[in-house]
Amino acid sequence: MQIKAPRGTYDILPPDTGRWHYVEKILRETAEIFGYQEVRTPIFEHTELFERGVGTSTDIVTKEMYTFKDKSSRSLTLRPENTASCARALIEHSIYSGILPAKWYYIGPMFRYDRPQTGRYRQFHQFGVEAFGSNNPYLDAEVIILLVEVLKRLGLNDYELHINSVGCPQCRELYRQKLIAYITPVKDKLCSDCQTRYEQNPLRVLDCKEDTCHRAIAGYPTLLEHLCHDCARHYAAVKEALKASHIDFQHDDNLVRGLDYYTNTAFEIHIPGIGAQSAVGGGGRYNGLVAECGGPDLPGIGFAMGIERLLLAVDTVAGREINAGNTDVFISIMNDAYEPQALELLTRLRLAGIRAEKDYMGRSGRAQMKYADKLGARLAIIIGEEEIAQGFYTLRDMQSKEQVQISDQDIINSVKHRLAIA
């Protein structure tokens, strides 16, 4: 039986890797312009970190983690997300006693044992940013502006940004009580999923898609009306800042993000038309996280984006195609006796910083030209009997088909010159 990539994983091969580089470059550049620096944390961590950081009631922790024991019986887990690791690193290296806010970004693979689907994999890639140490609402806005800017730079102008505030532990608990009181009389009318949500996390009943549930709880009290004074002011400032920055968004009472660590601002960004998994990014404020992981009481805000979903969107919505040629110059020899000279010149071109290639399959002269064409070469250098006898190279422009004779000492500069103006 042939061995294949495990379920939910896949290979990224050329020329696809070029598309990844293109997206990754935009992500890194944008983050750095906004003042975020890259962090790289381990791919696996102690299981306890995610249990505490993500929350034991979440789907991620209860059923989606890749957990294993190492040879010393430590329980380790392949990271399902990177925010908890960032908080751990921040604490471990006492970053909080340095210059604040600490503004980090990351990019890399995450792992969740989930049923694969369009835009959903078991090993997938996230880009994300985290800003620790400030509870300033304008930092919330900065992070959202960065998220939107990334989409704009990828040509994804058609997005839906939803925001909400989930308050602080105090006002959220008060609201939870009210909501439970509101739902309890109509509990029996809810779908079976909502029956369990009602027990575990009543707020999640709000974003159920079932019509019957919507009707059953119609007129429910909203989080927005129950925010405490500070939380309400914080949320108002975020919205005001987004408006001032001309960012379109919509308040969404039903946006209740699943992870336990969120406080105050929560947001999610969708791109219509890429399937059921249309959330390309989501995040929020997590003021309780650092303390929960054993550090000081330090606020934080961040988001994560799914790179597979971004690529899906770039393909299906933005319709962008990125394919640069493999090479610029191809050396064609008309007799295999010229292999040594060809390789010598090839290396000289390469050491001069020029992407150059030759044939290694024993192709005929004609086939070498076909090959050059497939590689996207803009220039071909032809070495045949006449060239060897008289000591020059034939330089062919693949587009115009013009050919000129160039001496050995001029060849590098001539190639450079032609590539620069082409």
Partner RNA sequence: GUGGGUGUAGCUCAGUCGGCUAGAGCACCAGAUUGUGGCUCUGGGGGCCGUGGGUUCAAGUCCCAUCACCCACCCCA
**For residue 100, what are its two tokens?**
């604040």
The footprint of RNA on residues 389-408 (CB under 7 A) is 394, 396, 398-399, 401, 403
When the beta carbons of 230 and 397 are compared against RNA, the nearer one is 397
CB of 345 to RNA, least distance (A): 14
Can you tell me whether residue 168 is helix, strand or coil? coil
Q: Rounded to an integer, what distance in angstroms lies between the CA atom of residue 224 and that of residue 109?
A: 35
Lay out the site mask for RNA across 302-341 (x = CB under 7 A, - = otherwise).
Answer: --xxx-xx----------------------x-xx------
Residues that bind RNA (rule: CB under 7 A) add up to a total of 72
* Listed ranges 5-13, 68-76, 85-93, 97-105: which one lies at the site for RNA (CB under 7 A): 5-13
CB of 313 to RNA, least distance (A): 11
If binding is defined by CB under 7 A, does position 183 make contact with RNA? no
Sign of CA dihedral 270, 271, 272, 276: negative
If binding is defined by CB under 7 A, does position 79 make contact with RNA? no
CB atoms within 10 A of CB 281: 25
Q: Which of 26, 36, 45, 58 binds RNA (CB under 7 A)?
A: 58
Q: Rounded to an integer, what distance in angstroms lies between the CA atom of residue 104 and that of residue 130?
A: 5
**For residue 238, what are its two tokens?**
């975020």
What single string gives the DSSP state of each residue in 205-274? GGG---HHHHHHTTTPPPHHHH--HHHHHHHHHHHHHHHHTT---EE-TT---S-TT-EEEEEEEE-TTS
Backbone angles phi, psi at 88, to 5 degrees: -60, -45
CB of 304 to RNA, least distance (A): 4
Q: Rounded to an integer, what distance in angstroms lies between the CA atom of residue 356 and that of residue 345?
A: 10
* Listed ranges 137-145, 166-174, 206-214, 346-354: which one lies at the site for RNA (CB under 7 A): 206-214
When the beta carbons of 5 and 99 are compared against RNA, the nearer one is 5
If binding is defined by CB under 7 A, does position 85 make contact with RNA? no
CB of 399 to RNA, least distance (A): 6
**For residue 43, what are its two tokens?**
């791919």
If binding is defined by CB under 7 A, does position 190 make contact with RNA? no
If binding is defined by CB under 7 A, does position 370 make contact with RNA? yes
The footprint of RNA on residues 105-134 (CB under 7 A) is 112, 114-121, 124, 126
If binding is defined by CB under 7 A, does position 152 make contact with RNA? no
Q: Which residue matches tokens 């992407």?
A: 355
Strand partners, 282: 268, 304
Strand partners, 303: 129, 283
If binding is defined by CB under 7 A, does position 259 make contact with RNA? yes
The footprint of RNA on residues 15-54 (CB under 7 A) is none
